[in-house]
Structure 1
Amino acid sequence: MTNTSGDAHPLADAMTTSVSVHDEATVLTVAGEVDLATAPALENAIEATLGSKPPVVIIDLTQVSFLASAGMAALVGAHKRAGETTRIMVVADGPATGRQLKVTGLDKVFAMHTTLDGALTALHQN
């Protein structure tokens, strides 16, 4: 069924997530716009990813074109839910993601990297 009325959640499909596993890290790749309409879907994807209690979750935001405060709140929520059992790393670069995370100080909360390869390399060095 297709919603053509344009009233329910017209931007609900503006963001996609996918999960993959690289060694001991579970990678949640996010693409599109993370805003007030799509942040709940991001929170659900993060919750599902954390559910299996992986040792490391890398949230890859390099394909995100817009990151609103609701998206940043979802990242903070992920950090709180992960607790001591799961290490959270964030991959973000450029004006759409990296700059916002630095301006808000969230780059001090998360281990941030500019590429997924960089995050995976750092993981193996620790």
Structure 2
Amino acid sequence: MTIDEDAARTSILAQDWTPFAISTAKRKTVTILSVCGEIDLLTICPLRQAIDNAFDDDPANLLVDLTRTTFLASVGLKALEQARARAESTSAMFAVATAQAATSCPITALHLEQVLDLHATVDEVIEMWSRPDVRWPAPSPLDAWWIEVMSTEAPNVVRVSSPRIGRNRLSQD
């Protein structure tokens, strides 16, 4: 590789990289956390702290804006689910604004769109929550399953026989 090719490659990589940042804004009774960059093991702690701080406000309606997020790892998915569960336990509303494949694909791959309140834009959520007839959606049938899968406790794993597939598989008690 020549120096010019190396410089061009570095320039392209630098253009694709987005620094991680979280900004907080208030609109009416909603706290909006806008996340820019990648959500992964290196950036999850500031995101969790920002979510905790948002729930300290009263009222604690929270909208997480992922429209400028470039990567969403499983720890980010877990943080979103934990935030949703916390909002539900306090009767607050919680939603996620995401329009990019980088964030919507991991969510839909795990069927979290059935658990999380997803929208394409922040304005869409604010408009919807402004209507007097809108309240937190009813619990999804996947809630118990997802909470069990994402719990911090190590589950007891045993081998059981599955008559459908005729071989052993892992199962949880």
Q: Quick check: 1:19–1:28 contact (8 Å CA) kept in 2?
A: yes
Q: Quick check: 1:25–1:56 contact (8 Å CA) kept in 2?
A: yes
Task: Please give the root-mean-square deviation of Cα atoms over the aligned residues, in Å.
Answer: 1.6
- Which one has the bigger helix percentage? 2
1:109 maps to 2:115: yes
| Residue ranges of structure 2 left out of the alignment (5+ in a row) | 1-17, 135-173
How high is the TM-score relative to the length of structure 2?
0.62
- Per the alignment, residue 74 of structure 1 pairs with 79
How far the C-alpha of 1:114 sits from its partner, in A, is 0.4
How high is the TM-score relative to the length of structure 1?
0.83
Aligned residues, how many? 114
1:20 maps to 2:25: yes
User: What SS does the aligned partner of 1:77 have?
Assistant: helix
Larger Rg: 2
- Per the alignment, residue 38 of structure 2 pairs with 33
User: What SS does the aligned partner of 1:100 have?
Assistant: helix
How far the C-alpha of 1:55 sits from its partner, in A, is 4.3
CA deviation vs aligned residue, 1:35-73 (integer Å, no higher than 9, x gap): 011111111110111111424211000010000001111
Output the CA distance in 1 between the equivalents of 2:114 and 2:59: 22
The one of the two structures with greater contact order (alpha-carbon pairs below 8 A, sep at least 6) is 1
| Residue ranges of structure 1 left out of the alignment (5+ in a row) | 1-12
Output the CA distance in 2 between the equivalents of 1:53 and 1:74: 20
How far the C-alpha of 1:124 sits from its partner, in A, is 1.7
How far the C-alpha of 1:79 sits from its partner, in A, is 1.5
- Per the alignment, residue 48 of structure 1 pairs with 53
Output the CA distance in 2 between the equivalents of 1:39 and 1:96: 16
Off by >4 Å, runs of 4+ in structure 1? none
User: What SS does the aligned partner of 1:54 have?
Assistant: coil
